[in-house]
């Protein structure tokens, strides 16, 4: 069964569930909203629906019901490699089914056929100033490809609502096939003197990305791990929500992905992984490159807090324990780069930061998040231009965001439009 056929079956099974909930139970309450939630970024308001992943505050993310270690163990592996095919993860996110080796092989071939970023995108990027942030180049490159949208074409021809998911899936598959090339092109344009490396038709998505970046093995496995770990984190985080919101206006996935990349570019969200590296470099400079004692590191952390900055890589809006995405990358570091000096810094931070954040008493979660560890691995394998790290996050995050949008269309979710109140109205509700 092809991916599309498997998905169609799932969608047919799923639709009556959504319809029944809406028709028979539409008035059942799922959440109340307090004033602190209305002012405070809707934290904890339960008003989004997704079946692609679920984030438990203590346990961390589950993709289609599976924890990260389960996901990595059960997806078909690239022969001779430690990590699974990213394509298999796409199959899992979209259908909820663990793919067979044949399912994955079909999808790998399908995505290979869809490769090829149009030349005009490269021309446009080359015309932009070289000091433009890679996330801006990435977002602009995606937006420039909007004219390729199969969804827009079908929509303009009068596509029925029940079929909206089909050309959306086309667009998503095309974009997934092209984002690694676009990302690698930006890297080599900006940091390697405009020396792009052509895709290799024999390689899977993760392997081809490493090849186009010009970084040797085991960076291919790093890429696979990284894309899978960053793929989805429910739909309320800024990037996923931005993508979902824009797509809810029936904007195509090129618009939606460009918007989600813009949200990911914020330092409180995806950009934190670049911030972690920048911050650690600052510590290293101060310490003369020597791994500091815990006492010295504590001083540096307090200096950061006392100057009004956040400690990047720690804390989370939902999680209340160490992020399993951090833990998985830590395992990778312990296995492949235990003596890396930056890893040693990160390890000392793991020991000293949580008690300090607890003592300070502000952060609800003192534990490390995904970004505390990811830059270390990139740095170790030679990707030291940390401005680029969030592009990697963006390629990964597109897997979940676009899977969600395909399902949004399949289930006919409407345009999103929460209601606003004025401050005076809140005061009236509060009785002040
Ligand atoms: C992720 C993050 C944005 C979540 O924000 P949040 O949901 O508002 O977090 P909290 O409810 O715990 O915040 C309460 C307070 O603790 C502070 N806090 C949270 N994490 C902190 C950190 N790592 N360092 C210092 N202070 C922190 C917040 O800034 C806030 O302070 P304020 O009341 O003065 O505004 C926040 O933890 C943060 O800024 N972390 C550092 C950046 C980062 O790693 N981002 C990547 C996330 S995957």
The pLDDT tens digits of the residues spanning 369-404 come to 998 988 999 999 999 999 999 999 999 999 999 999
Those residues whose C-beta lies under 8 Å from the C-beta of residue 77, and which sit 6 or more positions away, are 83, 84, 85
pLDDT for 255 equals 98
Residue 276: is its pLDDT beyond 90? no
Residues 35 and 410: their CA atoms lie apart, in Å, by 34
> Which of 39, 309, 310 maximizes ligand 1 atoms within 8 Å of its Cβ, making it the mutation to test the pocket?
310
Looking at the predicted structure, is the pLDDT value of residue 93 above 90?
yes
Q: Determine if ligand 1 sits within 6 Å of the CB of residue 315.
A: yes
pLDDT at residue 290 in the model: 86
- Is the C-beta atom of 370 inside 6 A of ligand 1? yes
- Asked whether residue 291 carries a pLDDT value surpassing 90, the answer given is no
Give the pLDDT confidence score for residue 42 in this predicted structure: 96
Average pLDDT over residues 17-26: 98
Q: What is the dihedral of CA 33, 39, 45, 49, to 10 degrees?
A: 130
Q: Is 371 a catalytic residue?
A: yes
CA neighbor of 175 nearest in space, from 243, 101, 249: 243
Q: Is the pLDDT of residue 167 over 90?
A: yes
Instruction: Report DSSP letters for 233-285, one per residue.
Output: --S-SHHHHHHHHHHHTT--HHHHHHHHHHHHTSTTTTTHHHHHHHHHHHHHH
Known catalytic membership, residue 262: no
Q: What is the DSSP string of 63-105?
A: ETTB-HHHHHHHSPBPTT-SSBPHHHHHHHHHHSSPPPHHHHH
User: Which of these, 391, 401, 362, 420, lies nearest to 135 by C-alpha position?
Assistant: 391
Mean pLDDT (the chain) is 96
Phi, psi of 46, rounded to the nearest 5 degrees: -90, 90
Ligand 1 nearest-atom number relative to CA 362 = 16
| Closest ligand 1 atom to 237 CA | 48
Q: For 329-357, what is each residue's pLDDT tens digit? A: 999 999 999 999 899 989 899 999 999 99
Query: Whole-angstrom Cα distance, residue 227 to residue 248?
Result: 25
Of the candidates 103, 316, 323, 380, the residue annotated as catalytic is: 316
pLDDT for residue 287 is more than 90: no
Q: Which residues contact 28 (CB under 8 A, 6 or more apart)?
A: none
Q: Strand locations in 17-67, DSSP E?
A: 53-56, 60-63
200-226 pLDDT tens trace: 999 999 999 999 999 999 999 999 999
- C-beta separation of 326 from 368 below 8 A: yes
Query: Are the C-beta atoms of residues 134 and 198 closer than 8 Å to each other?
Result: no
Show the beta-strand stretches assigned E in 103-178.
none
Looking at ligand 1, which residue's alpha carbon is closest to its atom 33? 362
* Pocket lining: 113 vs ligand 1, CB cutoff 6 Å: no
Close Cβ partners of 97 (under 8 Å, ≥ 6 residues apart) = 6, 10, 91
User: Quick one: 249 exposed, middle or buried, by C-beta within 10 A (0-12, 13-18, 19+)?
Assistant: exposed
366 touches ligand 1 (CB under 6 Å):
no
pLDDT the model gives residue 368:
94
Q: Tokens 């022969």 identify what position?
A: 79
Q: Is any ligand 1 atom within 6 A of the Cβ of residue 312?
A: yes
Q: What is the pLDDT of residues 134-159, one digit of tens each?
A: 999 999 999 999 999 999 999 999 99
Residue 368 CB less than 6 A away from ligand 1: no
pLDDT at 337: 94
**CB 273 less than 6 A from any atom of ligand 1:** no
Confidence at 199, pLDDT banded by 50, 70, 90: very high
Among residues 269, 323, 380, 408, the one annotated as catalytic is: 269
Can you give the pLDDT at residue 275? 86
> What is the rounded distance in angstroms from the CA atom of residue 367 to the CA atom of residue 348?
13
Alpha-carbon distance values, 251 to 238, 332, 368, 413 (Å): 18, 39, 35, 13
Residues 6+ apart with CB under 8 A from 278: 386
DSSP annotation string for 267-336? TTTTTHHHHHHHHHHHHHHHTTTSPPPHHHHHHHHHHHHHTT---TTB--SS--S--HHHHHHHHHHHHH
Residue 9 CB neighbours (<10 A): 13
How much is the pLDDT for 285?
A: 87
- H-helix or E-strand containing 37? helix 35-39
408 is catalytic: no
Query: Buried b vs exposed e over 201-221: b needs ≥16 C-beta within 10 Å?
Result: eebbbbbbbbbbbbbeebbbb
Q: Quick one: pLDDT at residue 182?
A: 98
pTM passes above 0.85: yes
The upper half-sphere exposure of residue 344, i.e. CA atoms within 13 Å in the direction of its Cβ, equals 11
If you search the block for the tokens 């942030």, which residue do you land on?
133
Q: Is the pLDDT of residue 123 over 90?
A: yes
How many angstroms does the Cα of residue 78 sit away from the middle of ligand 1? 38
Mean pLDDT (whole number) for 292-314: 92
* Cβ–Cβ < 8 Å for 116, 246: no
Please name the residue whose Cα sits nearest to atom 19 of ligand 1: 363
Q: What does each C-alpha distance from 371 to 47, 229, 269 come to in angstroms?
A: 27, 11, 9
Residues 6+ apart with CB under 8 A from 428: none
Atom of ligand 1 nearest to the CA of 40: 8
């Amino acid at each position: 069964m092809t991916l599309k056929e498997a998905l169609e079956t799932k969608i047919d099974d799923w639709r009556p569930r959504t319809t029944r909930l809406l028709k028979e139970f539409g008035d059942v309450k799922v959440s109340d909203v307090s004033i602190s939630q209305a002012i405070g970024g809707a934290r904890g308001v339960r008003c989004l629906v997704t079946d692609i992943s679920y984030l438990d505050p203590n346990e961390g993310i589950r993709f289609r019901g599976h924890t990260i270690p389960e996901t990595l163990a059960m997806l078909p592996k690239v022969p001779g490699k430690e990590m699974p095919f990213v394509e298999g993860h796409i199959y899992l996110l979209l259908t909820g089914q663990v793919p067979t080796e044949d399912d994955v092989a079909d999808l790998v071939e399908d995505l290979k056929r869809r490769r090829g970023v149009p030349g005009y995108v490269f021309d446009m990027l080359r015309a932009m100033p070289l000091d433009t942030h890679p996330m801006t180049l990435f977002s602009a490159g995606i937006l420039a490809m909007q004219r390729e949208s199969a969804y827009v074409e079908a929509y303009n021809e009068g596509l029925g609502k029940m079929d909206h998911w089909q050309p959306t899936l086309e667009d998503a598959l095309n974009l997934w096939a092209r984002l690694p090339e676009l990302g690698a092109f930006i890297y080599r344009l900006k940091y390697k003197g405009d020396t792009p490396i052509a895709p290799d038709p024999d390689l899977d998505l993760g392997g081809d990305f490493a090849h186009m970046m010009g970084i040797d093995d085991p960076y291919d496995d790093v890429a696979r791990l990284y894309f899978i770990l960053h793929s989805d984190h429910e739909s309320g985080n800024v990037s996923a929500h931005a993508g979902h919101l824009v797509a809810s206006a029936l904007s195509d996935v090129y618009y939606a992905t460009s918007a989600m990349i813009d949200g990911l570019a914020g330092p409180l969200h995806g950009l934190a992984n670049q911030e972690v590296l920048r911050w650690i470099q600052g510590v290293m400079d101060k310490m003369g490159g020597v791994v500091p004692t815990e006492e010295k590191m504590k001083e540096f952390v307090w200096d950061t807090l006392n100057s009004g900055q956040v400690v990047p890589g720690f804390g989370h809006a939902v999680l209340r324990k160490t992020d399993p995405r951090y833990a998985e990358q830590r395992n990778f570091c312990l296995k492949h780069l235990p003596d890396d000096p930056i890893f040693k810094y990160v390890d000392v931070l793991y020991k000293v930061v949580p008690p300090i954040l607890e003592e300070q008493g502000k952060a609800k979660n003192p534990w490390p998040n995904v970004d505390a560890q990811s830059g270390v691995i990139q740095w170790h394998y030679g990707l030291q231009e940390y401005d680029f790290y969030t592009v990697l996050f963006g390629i990964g995050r597109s897997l979940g965001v676009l899977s969600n949008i395909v399902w949004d269309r399949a289930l006919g979710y409407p345009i999103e439009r929460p209601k606003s109140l004025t401050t005076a109205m809140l005061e009236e509700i509060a009785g002040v």
